[in-house]
Amino acid sequence: MDVRQLRYFVNIVDYGSLGKAAEKLYVAQPSLSQQVAKLEDDLGVPLLVRSPQGVKPTAAGQALYRHARLVLHQMEQLRQEVREGVGAESGTVAIGFPTTMASVLAMPVFERVRERYPGIRLQLFESMSGYLNELLANGRLDLAILFRDTATPGISALPVLDEELYVLGEPGLPARARTCALAALADVPLVAPGVANGLRLLLERTFAREQVPLNIVADVDSLPMLLSVAQSGAACTILPASALALRAPAERPKMRRIVDPTIRRPASICWPNALPVSSASLAVRRTLCELIEELRASGVWTGIELRETGIAAG
């Protein structure tokens, strides 16, 4: 087993296809298949399941994939530190943003890092928090913002903020009302992300605890669609204020803060702790903390409270 074989295997799993991986790596597909066969022979277990739809890793293949990504990441760090010196801010940093936070934070991070650290190449991912957690655990991300405030095995967490949730749309309140009591949302038609989404779980638990009937009429795993439904008046939705950051004021649904009780969720900057944190990742982490503080102070990012200890520690 060598580093080249590990790189080949990671690309095959990432692309889900021997042909696509061969094209990306500029390697003949038969040669790629031969390298996989050598790996399987060396380890004594099958690593891939082949089908007309492509290839997927077996349980053993998934274990190899996780370790291989860590090894390749460490090799890249080694090269950068030898070339540039320990502490140099250069190399690739992959960051994952939940969809609602990407709206307000991703572009400022891109601009600030490009301006301040030209040697850092960013990879930006936008997805649901649960999938970002999976990517972080598999070593595909260096940093991610996740909705939690505690560390888990293999993942460190730096709590940086708590965000409030708002009802978007017209739940039948007076037009001038700026807040909405949770009880006023009893049986109001709502659209929300699917049952596996962390926000959906938070809503279900909160409504159940307060004994308020929750009436979700459709599962919608698309932020633009959630906002469009709320804007149309067909149903309401519940989201943080950051969800509206990229929407023109004329296209924003009415937004009211939920009270009695307020609904908050914590957010942390997270990173895998299986390997030392590179100076580039540390620089981006500090930039994230800096920008979160600036965006709140300027009023661009509303509806959040900073965890001062976490922001200072970033």
User: Do 88-153+275-300 and 163-265 share a fold?
Assistant: yes
Neighbours of 24 (CB within 10 A): 13
Tell me if the domain spanning 163-265 has CATH number 3.40.190.10.
yes
SS3 275: coil
Q: Which amino acid is at 7?
A: R
CATH number of 3-79: 1.10.10.10
User: Which of 17-26, 68-77, 188-197, 219-228 has the least mean pLDDT?
Assistant: 68-77
- CATH value of 88-153+275-300 in 3.40.190.10, 3.40.109.10, 1.10.10.10, 3.50.4.10: 3.40.190.10
**Cα dihedral sign for 187, 189, 195, 198?**
negative
Tokens of 206: 């909160």
CB-count exposure of residue 246 (10 Å: 0-12, 13-18, 19+)? middle
- Would you state the pLDDT for residue 24? 86
The more confident residue out of 86 and 160 is 160
**If you average pLDDT over residues 202-206, what whole number do you get?**
97
- The pTM of the full predicted model, rounded to 2 decimals, is 0.76
Neighbours of 134 (CB within 10 A): 13
Angle, vertex CA 272, rays to CA 307 and CA 112, nearest 5: 60
Task: For 285-301, write each residue's pLDDT tens digit.
Answer: 999 999 999 999 999 99
Domain ranges of the chain: 3-79, 88-153+275-300, 163-265
Report the half-sphere exposure of 29 (CA within 13 A, side-chain side): 6
Task: For 68-127, write each residue's pLDDT tens digit.
Answer: 887 887 777 677 667 666 556 788 899 999 999 999 999 999 999 999 999 899 999 998
